[in-house]
């Protein structure tokens, strides 16, 4: 790319309300792939390594800046939403005169950094527009060219004639230009139009009047310039985004049983020969090593899954470290702070929270284990509960290697079960159980002769 971008400053317009979203949240805080629309635009902006990022906000008050605590954002308040030209005017007061300025839209989330680099490069001396062709039924601003094919002006839909509305080349709203040119054009904008606003698009005609070059480039993919104005728009872009993610992972060797039913809402890395069934959702930062198999309708969030792990249907794994060759589920829940050793098994309707489970240990059925340290080779039977909470504080349960905990046992923490110990089924254990011994606590069984069940 020609020229240096060391002087680049980016303005993101994020002051709109988005009435068609029918939401109390500002439009740029609506989420796509689990992140606010504005976050996607900020990520694209940061990829260009600009000198400054200015975000113009307005509707929703401080809700937008409060959602983003990054120190590299300069927030600019547009008190009254008087159009895109006025929004840029608000930011221009904070932009250095030697800057090259890129204007982005906070509700156009899938713009690609490579497209933006090309646009900014073309704006080294003049005005560069990002335009695209689309069916004429939409209400985008039209690109009006002269007989020689040069861009003359942009006319907004409400102000366009029938002939102008028939033009299929339209404005994306994304532009780039030197700050010195913008400083000359912005004060000359007026609101003599159908909406009574200051249109940023009017700078095109001003540039032509000043004999400044105006060029238009197109994005590589149409979805890059698709904006969000409604819930339907948001849903459409969600599927486009997820489709692109699915394609990327399949190219890298991941088997997706149905790419149309696959959702990444954060950052996912996956090794070769990972197999993912339908309806799975990945949130936050998730790492899948080679050979991981994930059954249908699982949710995995902020977790690392080692090689060879099999996760059965309808399981939720959140904030966990899962060692190699473990088996989890179906219908299991592994909660934050849990670490599973190699070849551990967490079975159906088992919940594990803030616990270390050693290698080859098994918790197979209908049990809850919380705030526990479990050794290797431990067997925990069905219906076992670690009673870790006394109403005010959490307490720890420690189970030694190769212990056997019988079904329907309650381990009342703090308590320690020694290595090789056996706890008889149906016990309530309130004291430490010695290693290698059988411990049980049961009421004596008795039969009451002649007892009859009450009758209605």
DSSP assigned state of 443? P
Burial class (CB in 10 A: 0-12, 13-18, 19+), 311: buried
Peptide bond into 260 cis (omega under 30): no
Query: What's the half-sphere exposure (Cβ side, CA atoms, 13 Å) at 324?
Result: 4
Residue 19: how many CB atoms within 10 A of its CB?
Answer: 11
Q: Is 248 a catalytic residue?
A: no
Strand partners, 36: 31
Q: Which residues pair with 262 in a beta bridge?
A: 280
Q: How far is it, in rounded angstroms, from Cα 366 to Cα 348? A: 6
Whether the Cβ atoms of residue 123 and residue 178 lie closer than 8 Å to each other:
yes
Torsion sign (Cα): 372, 377, 378, 382: positive
CB atoms within 10 A of CB 430: 13
The phi and psi torsions of 268 (rounded to 5 degrees) equal -120, 130
Candidates 297, 314, 365, 395; catalytic one: 365
How many residues in the chain?
A: 456
Burial class (CB within 10 angstroms; exposed 0-12, middle 13-18, buried 19+) of 266: middle
Report d(CA 172, CA 112) in Å as an integer: 13
Question: Residue by residue, what is the 3-state secondary structure of 230-270?
Answer: CHHHHHHHHHHHHHHHHHHHHHCCCEECCCCCEEEEEEEEE
Whose structure tokens read 């937008």?
Answer: 64
Rounded to an integer, what distance in angstroms lies between the CA atom of residue 404 and that of residue 386?
14
Is the CB of residue 344 less than 8 Å from the CB of residue 359?
Answer: yes
Strands (E), 139-218: 142-145, 151-155, 169-178, 214-217
Which residue is listed with tokens 């366009």?
160
* Nearest residue to 345 (alpha-carbon basis) of 387, 374, 303: 374
Query: Considering only CA atoms, which of 355, 417, 361 is closest in space to residue 388?
Result: 355
CA–CA dist 54, 120 (Å, integer): 16
Place of tokens 């109390």: 24
Other C-beta atoms within 10 Å of 63: how many? 14
Q: What positions carry a catalytic annotation?
A: 365
């Amino acid at each position: 790319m020609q020229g240096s971008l060391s002087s680049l400053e980016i303005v993101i317009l994020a002051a709109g309300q988005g009435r068609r979203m029918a939401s109390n949240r500002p439009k740029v805080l609506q989420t796509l792939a689990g992140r606010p629309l504005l976050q996607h635009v900020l990520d694209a902006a940061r990829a260009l390594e600009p000198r400054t990022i200015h975000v113009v906000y307005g509707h929703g008050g401080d809700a937008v800046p409060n959602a983003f605590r990054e120190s590299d954002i300069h927030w600019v308040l547009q008190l009254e939403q008087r159009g895109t030209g006025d929004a840029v005017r608000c930011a221009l007061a904070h932009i250095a005169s030697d800057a090259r300025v890129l204007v982005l839209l906070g509700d156009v989330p899938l713009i690609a950094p490579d497209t933006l680099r090309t646009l900014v490069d073309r704006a080294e001396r003049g005005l560069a527009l990002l335009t695209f062709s689309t069916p004429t039924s939409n209400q985008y601003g039209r690109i009006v060219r002269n007989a020689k094919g040069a861009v003359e002006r942009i006319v907004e839909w409400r102000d366009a004639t029938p002939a102008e509305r028939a033009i299929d080349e339209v404005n994306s709203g994304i532009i780039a230009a030197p700050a010195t040119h913008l400083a000359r054009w912005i004060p000359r904008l007026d609101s003599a139009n159908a909406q009574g606003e200051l249109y940023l698009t009017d700078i095109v005609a001003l540039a032509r009047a000043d004999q400044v070059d105006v060029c238009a480039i197109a994005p590589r993919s149409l979805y890059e310039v698709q904006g969000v104005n409604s819930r339907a728009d948001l849903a459409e872009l969600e599927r486009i985004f997820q489709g692109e993610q699915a394609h990327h992972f399949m190219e890298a060797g991941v088997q997706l049983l149905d790419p149309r039913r696959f959702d990444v809402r954060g950052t996912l890395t996956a090794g070769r020969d990972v197999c993912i069934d339908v309806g799975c959702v990945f949130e936050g930062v998730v790492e899948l090593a080679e050979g991981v198999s994930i059954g249908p309708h699982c949710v995995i969030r902020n977790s690392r899954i080692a090689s060879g792990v099999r996760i059965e249907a309808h399981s939720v794994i959140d904030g966990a470290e899962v060692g190699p060759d473990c088996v989890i589920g179906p219908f299991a829940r592994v909660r934050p702070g849990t670490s599973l050793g190699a070849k551990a098994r967490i079975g159906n309707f088992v919940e594990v929270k803030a616990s270390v489970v050693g290698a080859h240990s098994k918790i197979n059925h209908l049990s809850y284990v919380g705030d526990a340290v479990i050794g290797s080779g431990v067997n925990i039977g069905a219906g076992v509960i670690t009673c870790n909470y006394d109403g005010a504080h959490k307490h720890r349960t420690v189970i030694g290697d190769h212990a056997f905990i019988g079904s329907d046992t309650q381990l009342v923490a703090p308590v320690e079960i020694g290595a090789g110990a056996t706890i008889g089924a149906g016990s309530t254990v309130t004291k430490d159980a010695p290693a290698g011994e059988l411990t049980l606590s049961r009421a004596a069984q008795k039969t009451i002769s002649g007892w009859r069940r009450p009758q209605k």
